[in-house]
Structure 1
Amino acid sequence: MSTQSMSPAARLARRVFHGRNPLTRTSDRVESAVFMTALLIALLGVPIAAATGSEVYARESVSSAEQLRTRHQVEATLLEDTGTHVATGVTGPVVRASWQSPDGTPRQGGVTAAYDLKTGSTVLVWIDENGAVTTPPLTSEGAVITAIGWTATMLLGLVCALCSAHLLTVHLNRRRNARRWEAEWAAVEPEWTRRRR
């Protein structure tokens, strides 16, 4: 059976498992060994990445529950127009505003507001248990996304490293084989051309 008529899986198996083929070179066996080792490490990496993702999810879930418990959304009253400020981010300019802490203490500070709001307008902000402006709490969906991101990044990094190792092995083997072929041809070619004359 010719290699052209074989399925891709059969061709791959033939390249990886050489059996007792007398034409198989040591470099071919090294290439196959690197491929099989990379495949084994990749398969072992799946449960390790999944366990890491599970650990990240557990940690982020605890953090999410803590943030949801300690962070509160309140109304902040703007103490100046937003139109007089240059935007410092994609969400709008930071302007002075006042709000109340969870214990009722009045607080003032900078908050991010939309464009073209007047003094006295209100915006929703997240504050911590001390009354300081903070970021929104991490949600359970955010914890899932973070865990998936860690898992995918680990798997992708592992696969890229293993593919690079295999491709480097193939490249070095082909260069070595080409040099050996050239050296052998240089030794045989004069004799061969003399016989052809």
Structure 2
Amino acid sequence: MEAFRGPRRWLWRWRRNPLRRRADVVEGWVLAGAWLLTLLAGTVAGLVTARAVEHDLARERAATHPMIAYVVTRAPGRSGARSSTGERVWAEVRWTAPDGSPRTGQVRVTPGAATGAPVAVWTDAYAHLANRPATPTEASVRAAFIGTLAATTAAAAPSAASRLLLIRLERHRLALWDTEWSRLGPQWGRKTG
């Protein structure tokens, strides 16, 4: 197949050639613009998204505080029956808010945790239970992953649009060839027949 096509030439669409068509130049510029837009859109979207995710996770980290809560009633399950999967059960716990008011809530604890057993919990600014925030390392990994997904998604749009435009240009070029062939084809038939 390589022998049929000939050697590939770098930037052949812009070289001076009497056989070069205007459609070749347009296709070359469409490809160059598509590559540039794909690279630019992917990079910008990835960096902006990663930075936003990391900022949100840092804000979440700053808004939550670790507290020590105590189990109110014995947790269901056997004490020491912890499985290799790290099974945990729901139990009611009590903690004291910074303003001195007692608070209660449901959290996961080890099976069979005794009454009064200390449990680490995370609370928000209003002393309500909150999820454990992501560590800085977890936040960086999560931001990188989501940034990569955003970059891939943003880069797909100009890439797909350019592909569709190139398909339309190819169809237009083939239609022009058909028109030209229908005009010149009969002339060739008379000379060879």
Q: TM-score, normalised by structure 2?
A: 0.68
Higher helix share: 1
Provide the rounded CA distance (Å) in 1 between the counterparts of 2:142 and 2:41: 19
Shift of 1:92: 7.0
Structure 1 stretches lacking a partner, 5+ long: 84-90
Q: Number of paired residues?
A: 180
CA distance 1:40–1:176, shift in 2 (3 Å): same
Deviations 1:132-158 (A, max 9, x none): 221002321233234424542443233
Alignment equivalent of 2:65, drawn from 66, 71, 80: 71
Identity %: 23
Provide the rounded CA distance (Å) in 1 between the counterparts of 2:171 and 2:189: 26
Provide the rounded CA distance (Å) in 1 between the counterparts of 2:190 and 2:45: 63
CA distance 1:22–1:160, shift in 2 (3 Å): same
SS at match of 2:68: strand
1:160 maps to 156
Alignment equivalent of 2:11, drawn from 13, 20, 37: 13
**1:38·1:162 contact (CA, 8 Å) conserved in 2?**
yes
Structure 2 stretches lacking a partner, 5+ long: 78-85
1:180 maps to 176
SS at match of 1:188: helix
In the TM superposition, what are the counterparts of 1:32-51 in structure 2 within 5 Å? 32-45=28-41, 48-49=44-45
Shift of 1:54: 7.3
Deviations 1:55-82 (A, max 9, x none): 4377347415513xx4114344263655
**1:71·1:126 contact (CA, 8 Å) conserved in 2?**
yes
SS at match of 1:27: helix
Provide the rounded CA distance (Å) in 1 between the counterparts of 2:113 and 2:51: 47
Deviations 1:123-176 (A, max 9, x none): 543233543221002321233234424542443233212221221122111111
2:83 maps to none
Q: TM-score, normalised by structure 1?
A: 0.67
Provide the rounded CA distance (Å) in 1 between the counterparts of 2:151 and 2:59: 24
